[in-house]
Structure 1
Amino acid sequence: MYQFFIEDEQVHDTYVTIEGTDVNHIRNVLRMKKGEKIRVSSRSGMGYFCEVDMITEQCVEAKILSLDETGTELSSKISLYQGLPKSDKMELIIQKAVELGVYEVIPVAMKNCVVKLDEKKAASKVKRWQSIAESAAKQSKRSLIPEVVQPMSYKQALERAQDCDRILIPYENERGMLATKEAVEAIEPGESIAIFIGPEGGFAPEEITNVGEKAKLISLGKRILRTETAGLATLAILGYQLESKEG
Structure 2
Amino acid sequence: MHKFFVPEEFIFEEEAIIEGDDVKHIYKVLRLSLGEKVTINNCNGQEYLGVIKEITKKEVRVELKEKLHINNESSVEIYLFQGLPKSSKMDLIVQKNCELGIREITPIITERVIVKSEIGEYKKLDRWVRIALEASKQSKRTLIPKINSPIEFEELLDKLKEMDLIVVPYENEEGFGIKNLVGTLRDKEIKKVGVIIGPEGGFEEKEIQVLRSIGAHIVTLGPRILRTETAGFVCTSLIMYELGDLGGKI
TM-score under structure 1 normalisation?
0.89
Q: Could you tell me how far 1:5 is from its partner in structure 2?
A: 0.7
Look up the match of 1:216: 217
Cα displacement (A) at 1:139: 1.5
What's 2:170 paired with?
171
- Segments ≥4 residues shifted beyond 6 Å: 187-190
CA distance in 2, matches of 1:89, 1:170: 18
Is the partner of 2:61 in helix, strand or coil? strand
Q: Distance in 2 between matches of 1:116 and 1:38?
A: 45
Query: Could you tell me how far 1:103 is from its partner in structure 2?
Result: 1.1
Aligned to 1:53: 53
Partner of 1:240: 241
Distance 1:101 1:189 in 2: 19
Deviation at 1:55, TM superposition (A): 1.9
The equivalent residue for 1:74 is 74
The aligned length equals 245
AA paired with 1:60? Answer: V
The alpha-carbon deviation at position 155 of structure 1 amounts to 1.3
CA distance in 2: counterparts of 1:190 and 1:5, whole angstroms: 29
The alpha-carbon distance between structure 1 residues 233 and 68, as it changes in their structure 2 partners (threshold 3 A), is farther
User: Residue 159 of structure 1 aligns to which amino acid in structure 2?
Assistant: D
Matches within 5 A, 1:78-227: 78-114=78-114, 116=116, 121-177=120-176, 180-184=178-182, 186=185, 191-211=191-211, 212-227=213-228
Distance in structure 1 (CA, Å) of the matches to 2:249 and 2:216: 24
Using the alignment, how far apart are the partners of 1:43 and 1:189 within structure 2? 28
Q: Give the secondary-structure state (helix, strand or coil) at the position aligned to 1:183.
A: helix
Partner of 2:19: 19
Q: Quote the offset at 1:13 in angstroms.
A: 3.2
Letter in 2 for 1:77: E
On the 8 A contact 2:76/2:240 being kept in 1, the answer is no
Distance 1:33 1:151 in 2: 41
Contact 1:170 1:196 in 2 (8 A): yes
Q: How far apart are 1:189 and its partner, in Å?
A: 7.2
Structure 1 gaps of 5+ residues are: none
Give the deviation of 1:234 after TM superposition.
0.9
Determine helix, strand or coil for the equivalent of 1:43: coil
CA distance in 2, matches of 1:16, 1:190: 37
Considering only aligned residues, what root-mean-square deviation do their CA atoms show, in Å?
2.3
Q: How far is the alpha carbon of 1:48 from its aligned partner? A: 2.5
* Residue identity opposite 1:98 in structure 2: C
| Paired residues of 2:163 and 2:193 also in contact (CA < 8 A) | yes
After superposition, the Cα gap between the structure-2 partners of 1:65 and 1:237, relative to the gap in structure 1 and judged at 3 Å, is farther
C-alpha distance in 2 between matches for 1:136 and 1:115: 28
1:3 corresponds in structure 2 to 3
Moved more, 148-157 or 5-14: 5-14
Q: Identify the residue that residue 232 of structure 2 maps to in structure 1.
A: 231
- In terms of mean alpha carbon deviation, does 142-151 or 28-37 score higher? 28-37
Secondary structure at the counterpart of residue 76 of structure 2: coil
Instruction: Tell me the TM-score normalized by structure 2.
Output: 0.88
What letter corresponds to residue 181 of structure 2 in structure 1?
Answer: A
Given that 2:19 and 2:60 are in contact with CA atoms closer than 8 Å, whether structure 1 keeps it comes out as yes
Instruction: Give the share of equivalent positions with the same residue, in percent.
Output: 38
